[in-house]
A and B are shown apart, each in its own frame.
Chain A
Amino acid sequence: MKQQTTELQQLADAYRNKVQARMRDLPVYNAALQVETLGFSLYEGRLCGVLITPWCMNLLLLPGADDNWTALAPGKTMDLSFPAGEYSFTLSLTQDIMPHLSLPLFTTVLDFKDQDMARDVAREVLRCLYRETEHKASVDPLATELDKRHKKALSRRDFLRGRLSEQGGYDA
C-alpha cells in the first residue's frame, strides 16, 4: 500500500514539477484546477484512477507487476475490459513521467469552474466505470449501436402487429 502511495505521489509530482510550467501559457490551461490523482485502486493488478490537471482529465492505469510496457511502442493502444465495457487506452512513454496507460475523458478541462467540480465528475466517472451495465461500452461505437438494436429483441406483441423492424426508412 505504501509503495502505491509513493508511486501516485511520484506521478503527481512529475506533472506538477515538470509539466505544469510548460502548459501554463497555453489556451488549454485552466488556472482554477490543480494536479491531483483521485480514486486510485487496484483493478486486475494495476492501479487505476483519474488524473486531474489544469490541462487534462484522464483515466489512468499504472503498470502491474507483470507489465513490461517500456518494451512497447509509445502511442500503442490497448483495449481493456471493465464492468461498464471495453475501453481503448493509449500507452504513454515519456521521459518525464512513469509509463502508464491513459484514456482522455475530456478534450479540454476549460469548463470546470473549480477543483471540486472536477473531482465530482471524476468520482462519478469511476463509479460508472465499475458498475455493471446492460449496455456495455465498446471500443467500437458502431458495434455498440448495433449491439443495442440486436438486443432489443422482437416481442410477441410487436410480431403479431407486424412490426418487424424497430424503425425503418429515413427521417427527414
Chain B
Amino acid sequence: MGIQQTFYEAMREHGITRRSFLKFCSLTAAGLGLGPEFAGTIAHALETKPRTPVIWLHGLECTCCSESFIRSGHPLAADVILSMISLDYDDTLMAAAGHQAEEILEQTIEKYDGNFILACEGNPPLNEDGMYCIQAGKPYVEKLRRMADHCKAIIAWGSCASWGCVQAAHPNPTRATPIHKVITDKPVIKVPGCPPIAEVMTGVITYMLTFDRFPELDRQGRPKMFYGQRLHDKCYRRPHFDAGQFVERFDDEGARKGYCLYKMGCKGPTTYNACSTVEWNGGLSWPVKSGHGCLGCAEDNFWDRGSFYSSVTNLNVPGGVELTANQVGGVLAGAAAVGVAAHAAASVISHSVDSNKGGKQS
C-alpha cells in the first residue's frame, strides 16, 4: 500500500503509457467540467503527490453508495480505486476478511496517522451502546470514532452518513445518527443522495486528491459545485412549469407530452443536487426524464416529509445557494435574494448589496 507511490507510478505499474496517462488527465478534467488547461494541473498533482490512503467504512446502510460509485464513467471507478487512491480498507470491495481485514485498520493508523481519508457509508446507531450495528464483535460507532480520531478528513457518502436517511426516519428506534453529529472535531464533507451520483462521488475524490482540500462547501457542508442549485431550476421540464402545464395523472396526455411533474409530487423545487445536469448512468437519464418526480433523496429527512406523491407546499429549504440568481446578478442578485427572503425593503437590499460586493460569485 506504499504511501510513497504516486498515482502516475501506480498507473505505469499497471502498464499504462504516459500518453494514456495524459489522456486520462484530460478526460478527468473534462469529467469535472474543467477546461483543457486544468489537465496539466491534474497531471502535475497525480505525478507528484503520493496516493492518499482511504479507509471506507460501512455502518447502517444498503451499499447503494458503493453500487453507484463503482459505476462512475468519468473518471472510471477502477482508475480511482486502483491508482488514484490507495483503498486500503473497504469491507465490500476488499479481498481480505476476518482478522486479516481488521488488522489493516490498526496498520493504517500506525503508518498514516493523520494522513488518510475516512470515507463513511451509512451511519452508526447510538441506542443500546451501538448494539444495532456490530462489526468484528464491536459496535460500529467505536470503530468509527477510533478511525476518525486518526484521519485527516471525513467524506460522508450518501444520505445515511449525511442526514440519517431511512434508518433515522421517525421513530428512529436504533437512534441512527449522521456522521457530523458523532464526529465533531474533524472536517466532514457531505455528499448526500440515495445514492449520490457516481460522477459526483469520484469528482469529489479527484478534487480532494488534486488540490489537497475540500471543494467549496455550502452552509450544510455539501460541495457547492454539485449541490449549488435546486433541480427545479435546471430541469429540462421547467418551461412547462412556467407555462402551467402539469402532469395530473401518470397516464394522462400531459405525462405523454413530458409536462412538469410538480403536481405528481416532484421534489425538484426543494432538492439541491446535480441530477438534472450530470444525470445518471453516464448521463443517460434521471428520474424526471424517465417520467417520475424527484423523491428529494439528497435532502435532510426526506423519508418523513410526507408522501412522495403529494406536491411540495413549503418551498423553503435551509442552506444551499441560489446559484442562478448569484451567477446572473453577480454578487448582487444573491444579496438581493437574501434581503428579499428576510422581507427587507428595497433600500435594505441595495445596502446589503454594497456590503457584499467583494464577495464570491458562487
Q: A75-B258, A141-B225, A170-B214 are in contact. Are A107 and B322 (CB under 8 A)?
A: yes
Write out, one digit per residue, whether chain A residues 97-108 have a CB within 8 A of any chain B CB (1) or not (0): 100001111111
**Contact across chains for B243 and A75 when beta carbons are under 8 A apart:** no
Q: Looking at the complex, which of B87-95, B160-168, B226-234, B291-299 is the stretch in contact with chain A?
A: B226-234
Who on chain A is nearest to B333 by CB? A125
**Contact across chains for A77 and B336 when beta carbons are under 8 A apart:** no
Residues in chain A near residue B327, CB distance under 8 A: 85, 87, 137, 141
User: Which of A74, A85, A110, A141 touches B239 (beta carbons < 8 Å)?
Assistant: A74
Q: Looking at the complex, which of A2-10, A36-44, A115-123, A155-163 is the stretch in contact with chain B?
A: A115-123
- A50 CA to B327 CA, complexed, in Å: 15
User: Which of B225, B244, B314, B345 touches A22 (beta carbons < 8 Å)?
Assistant: B244
Q: A75-B239, A90-B238, A128-B332 are in contact. Are A111 and B224 (CB under 8 A)?
A: no
User: Which of A58, A137, A170 touches B361 (beta carbons < 8 Å)?
Assistant: A137
Residues in chain A near residue B269, CB distance under 8 A: 28, 107-108
Instruction: Check: A12 CB closer than 8 A to any chain B CB.
Output: no
Instruction: Check: B34 CB closer than 8 A to any chain A CB.
Output: yes
Residues in chain A near residue B203, CB distance under 8 A: 142
Instruction: Check: B213 CB closer than 8 A to any chain A CB.
Output: yes
- A79 CA to B220 CA, complexed, in Å: 29
In chain B between 145 and 161, which residues have their CB closer than 8 angstroms to a CB of chain A?
152-153
In chain A between 60 and 116, which residues have their CB closer than 8 angstroms to a CB of chain B?
74-77, 84-85, 87-88, 90-94, 96-97, 102-108, 110-113, 116
- A58 CA to B38 CA, complexed, in Å: 33
- A25 CA to B236 CA, complexed, in Å: 24
Residues in chain B near residue A113, CB distance under 8 A: 340, 343
- Most chain A beta-carbon neighbours within 10 Å: one of B234, B237, B330, B360: B330
A–B complex contacts, Cβ < 8 Å, 9 sampled: A107-B322, A110-B315, A124-B332, A137-B327, A141-B228, A141-B323, A142-B32, A142-B203, A148-B361
Task: Spell out B's residues near A (CB within 8 Å).
Answer: 32-35, 37-38, 152-153, 185-187, 203, 207, 212-216, 224-225, 228, 230, 232-234, 236-246, 258, 262, 269, 311-315, 322-325, 327-330, 332-333, 336-337, 340-341, 343, 345-346, 349, 353, 360-362
